[in-house]
Structure 1
Amino acid sequence: MTSGINANGQRFLLDMKRMQQRGDRAQAQISSTKRLVTASDDPVQLGTMLELKAQLAKSVQGRANLGRFQSEVDTAETSLQQAITYLDKAVTLGSQGASSAAPVDRAALALQVKGLLSQMVGVANTRVEGRYIFSGGMDQKAAYSVNLSSPNGVDATSQFIPGRVVQDPAGNALPTGLTADTVFNASGSDGVFKALNDLRLALESDSATDTQAATVALSSASTYLNQQLAHYGNLQTQIASATAAANKSELAWKTALSGIEDTDMASAAVEVTQNKTAREAAYAAESSRPRTSLFDYLK
């Protein structure tokens, strides 16, 4: 007889403990705003939650990397636009120097072109966050230095190797930034530096004919530089598209995560109230049991 009563009492206490645990869990979910506080709260959804968090973290990091690359691309695009204005100004100076209608101070014009050549080298050596963005894989070294005794008016101060590959948040590789030898085509017939230096030399020699020829070459160099500028315009479009896609994916993952781990406040509040009511009713029922209940043995 005693054994049966003890079994009933123990079962009652165990039921109360379970009810208390459910109530405590619901209260913890309300306090933390998270439905999944421990792995045991929902083992089935745990794996999905961890996978979503991993995807989200990877995308956020990829978007951060993409943001740094975008800063370089935007600066490169702005710098090349400035370089084109330098060439336009040089064409204007060349047109003045090629004129024979009136006396021309070509020596003074040559000094201005020399200044433009120096400014163009400054564009080639543009830096973002300590990196020379036109130096490719050797981005800790400037690309060029002025050397007026060189046929192109400059010397390369860095080896030009491809720059680092940047992936978008989805893992797709984006085109790399261009290196300075490609952008300014230093050794080409329509190279930016050679065209500027040829104009400087023609003006210094006080030759209207040579100045006219150098000015024509400058127009060709300007066309070439505009083609390189288009590369960065395309890159900006790709970066914007990749960023928009990442933002869309991250929003979907965050929404899915919220559905899995966030507390349904209304349901949790009902659970707490119902659990408390059920425990109070159970205690009341237990206290009204016959004297042969477990409570008699506890007196």
Structure 2
Amino acid sequence: MRVTQGMLSNNMLRNLMNSNDKMGKYMDQLNTGKKITRPSDDPVVAMKGMGYRTELVKVEQFQRNTNEVHNWMDNTDAALDKATSALQRIRELAVQASNGTYSEEERVNMSEEVKQLKDHLVDIANTNVNDKYIFNGSQTDTAPVDAEGNVIFDPSEVKIEVSSGTTLKANVNGDDVFGGDPDIFEVIDKFTAKLDGDEAIDEDIDASIEELDTGINNIINSRAELGARMNRLELVENRLGEQEVIATQTMSQNEDIDYAEAITQLITQESLHRAALSAGSKIIQPSLVDFLR
């Protein structure tokens, strides 16, 4: 086959263009830190990257969900702690009032304190966090204890997905804490009436102490159950943290470049390009003008 000067020139130009393309590729990698800048560069890497990124986004969303569950549980636990303290104080007053040594005026003073503690418990039952009543189930826009003192707790559960196929109950049923037959507010009202000397109530104060003990035990049991769920939430958070690290590492291994390797390849390609330019300048046949110099 006859090799012409035109063939040599065209081959040299084509190889120089390929060399330029490779240098451009390595420079793009160093600028972006990624192996590819468009899916057509490597469809396999691009498709895997989409899958890894989707998995990472899911993990990050679950982490946001766990933060929401934490918000519910932490506020609920704090509210139950205050409710326990209030009921224990009412019980202390009931024990004091049961010995019969207090005067009528002192019992009235006790009654006033108990009424204030009841109002405090109503505020706790109506705890509102981020415009959500946390003790009223899914009816988070409605206060369970209204201005007239009517008590209606929605028993539905608030469940939030914290990982694939796993949901956690975020709330505590207000009826388990403040409800019962009678509910804790009725118990306190009866106790207050006894302190005020209401003769229509035949029961003595010892009966109120027993009912208050039941109310305190209800709160303790609810806090214990809530604590168990908080421990499980912590385990889920730890697992999500590990999944996030693994997904990030896998995505990095798939997409990110090795800077040392990319710099070495760029320097090598630059040397090859200069050599090709030098060789090409000798291959191109001199023209008549070169001889007339």
Partner of 1:256: 250
Q: Deviations over 1:251-278 (max 9, x none)?
A: 1111111112112111111111111110
Distance 1:4 1:163, change over 3 A: farther
Does the 8 Å CA contact 1:106/1:206 hold for their aligned counterparts?
A: no
| Structure-2 separation of matches of 1:268 and 1:290 | 32
Picking from 157, 160, 181, the partner of 1:188 is 181
Partner of 1:23: 23
Residue range with higher mean Cα deviation, 240-249 or 36-45: 36-45
| Counterpart AA for 2:122 | V
| Structure-2 separation of matches of 1:229 and 1:265 | 53
| Structure-1 separation of matches of 2:81 and 2:153 | 25
Picking from 227, 238, 250, the partner of 1:233 is 227
Residue range with higher mean Cα deviation, 75-84 or 32-41: 32-41
| Structure-2 separation of matches of 1:77 and 1:94 | 26
Does the 8 Å CA contact 1:98/1:209 hold for their aligned counterparts?
A: no
| Structure-1 separation of matches of 2:38 and 2:181 | 66
Partner of 1:151: none
| Structure-2 separation of matches of 1:109 and 1:290 | 111
User: Aligned pair 1:155/2:150, yes or no?
Assistant: yes
User: Aligned pair 1:279/2:280, yes or no?
Assistant: no
| Structure-2 separation of matches of 1:298 and 1:82 | 100
Query: What TM-score, normalized to structure 1?
Result: 0.88
Q: SS of 1:272's equivalent?
A: helix
Q: SS of 2:146's equivalent?
A: strand
Unaligned runs of 5+ in 1: 148-153
| Structure-2 separation of matches of 1:297 and 1:261 | 53
Partner of 2:100: 100
Does the 8 Å CA contact 1:124/1:144 hold for their aligned counterparts?
A: yes
| Counterpart AA for 2:109 | A
Task: Tell me the percent identity.
Answer: 20
| Counterpart AA for 1:276 | E
Partner of 2:130: 129
Picking from 202, 219, 223, the partner of 2:194 is 202
Count of residue correspondences:
287
Unaligned runs of 5+ in 2: none
Distance 1:143 1:296, change over 3 A: farther
